[in-house]
Amino acid sequence: MGIRTATYTFSEKTVSYYFDADFSFLEQLVSKENSVIITDDQVKACCTEKFAGWKTIVIKAGEANKQQSTVDYIISELIKLEADRNTFIIGVGGGVVTDITGYAASVYMRGVKFGFVPTSVLAMVDASIGGKNGVDVGIYKNLVGLIKQPEFLLFDYSFLQTLPTEQWINGFAEIIKHACIKDAEMFAFLEENTVGDFMGDSVKLALLIEKNVTIKSEIVVQDEFEKGDRKLLNFGHTLGHAIENTSQLLHGHAVSIGMAAACTISEEINEFSSDEKSKVIELLKKYQLPVLFVFDKVKVSEIIKLDKKRQADAINFILLNKIGDAGMRKIPFNQLENIISQCL
């Protein structure tokens, strides 16, 4: 199909997207001599040859390492490499790597330019897009960070062939989320296919990824700083994040459980139909995502009280009106706690 390009203009800059581009294309975007790659040990181990000749900082993989201590390590390594304000930083990895790279680049010397090469389904369709960068603080996800856009995103789909099946499944949670909140037609398309269908058809996969990139990018262009519609992207995440940080679940798995719960809450207080709720649950199951999980309801409720979407004694919760159409509703904490304890 060849390299396909797109650009999206945000508040401070226009970001270029390069779809189906080989990693080597990076040398046409940045100076190899004046750039530093940040990646994790898993990506580095499976794709060592791609990094030949690049100055590279390697961090440990996993959400547990998305902490300020990792940022401190990255900055100490940048100092050793004599990185200056003209140094370009490239995050090559999944969502943890892109989140932490954008944050480190934004604070190093008060900000240097950066770009991303997302290597997982989840990073390609969600985490690398939109400029949210940051770190967790203990069990509280993304509590510290900022919104700053990369210069570019380069999508080399060959990275996906290195992923275990569970990481493909993990990424499809965000794809199903986009379908639930914005695209009933894509929801129906997903119903007609399976994870295996996309793993085995590179053209079908590329079209799906690029459709999801478009959905998220268009939302963020309209509401970069999350004053309105961007909040819809939090569907499944309020409860999902709290569950994720009290368990060993992957992000997509926790979000899937959060979406199933949000469908129950939507049915309970938002007149979301039981038939459509069942369709969402069945689609999540079809893509081998969990919809039930035994969790500490008291602890999860306490974590939600420090969620960034909190407003005084209530939280802005994303609910479905119907498949392809979501809205935000302010739910008092005491009401949400009752729903969690009685309905989930």
Active site residue 253: no
- DSSP bridge partners of 152: 16
- Cα–Cα distance, 104 to 37 (Å, whole number): 12
Active site residue 110: yes
Active site residue 237: yes
Annotated catalytic residue: which of 132, 148, 182, 231? Answer: 132
Active site residue 218: no
The closest of 251, 268, 246 to 340, measured between CA atoms, is 268
List the structure tokens of 51. Answer: 């990094």
Q: Which amino acid is at 263?
A: C
Annotated catalytic residue: which of 77, 210, 226, 244? Answer: 226
Active site residue 226: yes
Active site residue 302: no
- Per DSSP, 42 falls in state H
Active site residue 85: no
List the structure tokens of 138. Answer: 């203990």
User: What does each C-alpha distance from 56 to 37, 38, 43, 96 come to in angstroms?
Assistant: 5, 6, 12, 16
Active site residue 4: no
Annotated catalytic residue: which of 50, 178, 216, 231? Answer: 216
Residues 18, 3 contacting (CB under 8 angstroms): yes
Active site residue 82: no
DSSP state string for 9-20: E-SS-EEEEEET
Annotated catalytic residue: which of 66, 141, 148, 230? Answer: 230
Annotated catalytic residue: which of 33, 80, 82, 110? Answer: 110
- Cα–Cα distance, 12 to 249 (Å, whole number): 36
Strands laid side by side in the 4-9 sheet? 4-9, 14-19, 152-155, 114-118, 88-93, 35-40, 55-59
Active site residue 310: no
The closest of 72, 121, 74 to 94, measured between CA atoms, is 121
Residues 143, 136 contacting (CB under 8 angstroms): yes
Annotated catalytic residue: which of 44, 148, 241, 253? Answer: 241
- Cα–Cα distance, 204 to 210 (Å, whole number): 10
Annotated catalytic residue: which of 142, 212, 234, 245? Answer: 234
Annotated catalytic residue: which of 174, 210, 244, 337? Answer: 174
Annotated catalytic residue: which of 141, 148, 251, 277? Answer: 251
Annotated catalytic residue: which of 237, 245, 267, 337? Answer: 237
The catalytic site residues sit at: 110, 132, 174, 216, 226, 230, 234, 237, 241, 251
